[in-house]
Amino acid sequence: MTETEIERDGAGTGTPVWITPLTPLSFLRRSADVYPDKTAIVYGERRHTYAEFAAEVTRLAHALRGSGVKPGDRVAYMLPNVPEMLVAHFAVPLAGAVLVAINTRLSAPEVQQILDHSGATLFVVDSALHPRVAPVAGELKTVDEIITVVDPAAPGDGIGSGVRYDDLLARGSDEPLQWEVDDEESTISINYTSGTTGQPKGVQYSHRGAYLNSFGEIVHSTHTPDSVYLWTLPMFHCNGWCTPWAITAIGGTHVCLREVRGDVIWSLIDEHRVTHLNGAPTVVTTIMRAPEAKTLDYQLVITTAGAPPSPTTILQMEQMGFRIVHVYGLTETYGPYSVNQYQRGWDSLEPEERASLQARQGVGMLQAERLRVVDKDMVDVPADGTTMGEIVMRGNNVMTGYYSDPAGTEKAFEGGWFHSGDLGVMYPDGFVELRDRAKDVVISGGENISTIEVEQAIVSHPAVLEAAVVGVPDEQYGERPKAFVVLSPGESADEATLIDHVKSKIARYKAPKAVEIVEELPKTSTGKIQKFELREKEWGEGGARIKG
């Protein structure tokens, strides 16, 4: 066939018509065909085969369209890791819409801000969470309808004015749909991250990026059709690192989990012989410290990020039968971007030395480009394990941009690479290790907390003159915010009062672990607060915080 005989598509891209755009929607279509009777989803007593999974996704996609959702519209979900949240990762894009998964720990004003900014037209919320957003339900600018999911495991005390999820499904049909998209670069989801200012930024993921990232998760976490994956990582966090699509692609089993509790996790591990789970180091700590903890008679893979697991933790988990896969990334990189790729040469090293090497952030994953560590002129720093620079990334595993924020997008991609804001070093073997953050974001249990946002909440108390917040060590969460506060002359306030005040202003998990009243804050000659001095006080000389 000659070039002139090749039929091209109508989009003007020059792509032959037999080349189909990449989308993770194709994963469920395939698994429903290949494994129709296999258990796809487990939640309590509920069981869904892959055929049933695909059928509910189809019905919900029709229901969304029947509810007025048009191609490109944003549909917001605020649910824990229940089956309905998993279904949404396929049904919303199958309807041609964009999924906006909202952090279940946010306060009502924060939720409203995301809904308004994204322009979501339909909002699906868990009944137990509905009372939290009810105060702003009548003030939403774009939401036409609120749908409530009632979970018998935690029904909540208020259903609200929206219709129930079952009523929404009743609007759908079983008519077959095409599990494909016209443009693989179109947006499949928007994930909000607070950044350093506390203002949410909508990180846009494409169908192509989600498709390719899923393969990276399959390869580096060693998933197979026999994988039994426990949902300890929130699906609202970077779309669960694209794992809703990855596990479905390989035909594994999703074990849903409403809340992360040590006793429940161990019960599900025993009942289902869980093979894989993901999460921040706090999840690893929860598993290790649970009274039910024991040594497994098989290997369970834990993929972790948010902060590097300590060498001691790695060794302890290995002794219990776990294998740690250490990854690193940001919301802007679909979650994991790099992996600590294990080297067989490390087998001969002393356990402590080997574990120390495993605590590094590593190299670009299979589907990603390599990591670079650059100076302010975008020149690679020497690979000496000492010279620090900023970590930058690019490729299919990087967001397409911030939603409705061209200026923010342009700044993030100065020089043609995404600027992580993280400082690290490059080793001679090509592995990267984080040394500090250019941003002052506190990473607590895998969640980003803006210190500026916390400071503003503290300063809003009438007794406070100045405040500075830094991350301090925490055994369970890796680090937690601590506030250093200067009171106004003649005013008084104690630690408990200020912490309670912060909790009334922003999400409770962002509140400082401790508040220290000081006479003054360390400042430069120009009046800028020197946070590194505060960090040194808490972390030791250098104020080092190594994060993943």
The whole-number pLDDT of residue 449 equals 82
Nearest to 213 by CA among 367, 361, 333: 367
Tell me, rounded to whole angstroms, the distance of Cα 223 from its chain centroid. 19
The whole-number pLDDT of residue 411 equals 96
Backbone angles phi, psi at 360, to 5 degrees: -75, 160
* Count of helix runs (H) and strand runs (E) in the chain: 17, 26
Nearest to 329 by CA among 385, 282, 392: 392
Domain 260-439 has CATH 3.40.50.12780: yes
Architecture of domain 443-539: 2-Layer Sandwich (3.30)
Give the CATH H-level superfamily of domain 25-229+242-249: ANL, N-terminal domain (3.40.50.12780)
- DSSP secondary structure letter of residue 10: T
Q: Where in the chain is the domain with CATH 3.40.50.12780?
A: 25-229+242-249, 260-439
Backbone angles phi, psi at 444, to 5 degrees: -115, 110
Q: Where in the chain is the domain with CATH 3.30.300.30?
A: 443-539
Query: pLDDT digit of tens for each residue in the chain (548 aa)?
Result: 444 445 555 555 567 889 999 999 999 999 999 999 999 999 999 999 999 999 999 999 999 999 999 999 999 999 999 999 999 999 999 999 999 999 998 889 999 999 999 999 999 999 999 998 999 999 999 999 999 999 999 887 656 556 899 999 999 999 999 999 999 999 999 999 864 345 789 999 999 999 999 999 999 999 999 999 999 999 999 999 999 999 999 999 999 999 999 999 999 999 999 999 999 877 887 898 899 999 999 999 999 986 666 666 788 889 999 999 999 999 999 999 999 999 999 999 998 899 889 989 999 999 999 999 999 999 999 999 988 889 999 999 999 999 999 999 999 999 999 999 888 889 999 999 887 666 677 888 877 787 777 887 898 898 998 899 999 988 888 889 999 999 988 999 999 999 999 999 889 999 999 999 999 998 743 345 778 889 888 887 544 443 43
The whole-number pLDDT of residue 528 equals 57
SS3 assignment for 155-223: CCCCCCCCEEHHHHHCCCCCCCCCCCCCCCCCEEEEEEECCCCCCCEEEEEEHHHHHHHHHHHHHHCCC
The whole-number pLDDT of residue 256 equals 98
Residue appearing with tokens 């029709």: 62
Question: Using an 8 Å Cβ cutoff, are 392 and 418 in contact?
Answer: yes
Residue appearing with tokens 């500075």: 468
| Greatest extent of the chain over all pairs of C-alpha atoms, in Å | 87
The whole-number pLDDT of residue 406 equals 97
- DSSP secondary structure letter of residue 402: E
The whole-number pLDDT of residue 192 equals 95
CA distance 189 to 119: 13
Q: Please, is 78 exposed, middle or buried when counting C-beta atoms within 10 Å of its C-beta (0-12, 13-18, 19+)?
A: buried
Q: Three-state DSSP class for 516? A: strand
The whole-number pLDDT of residue 194 equals 61
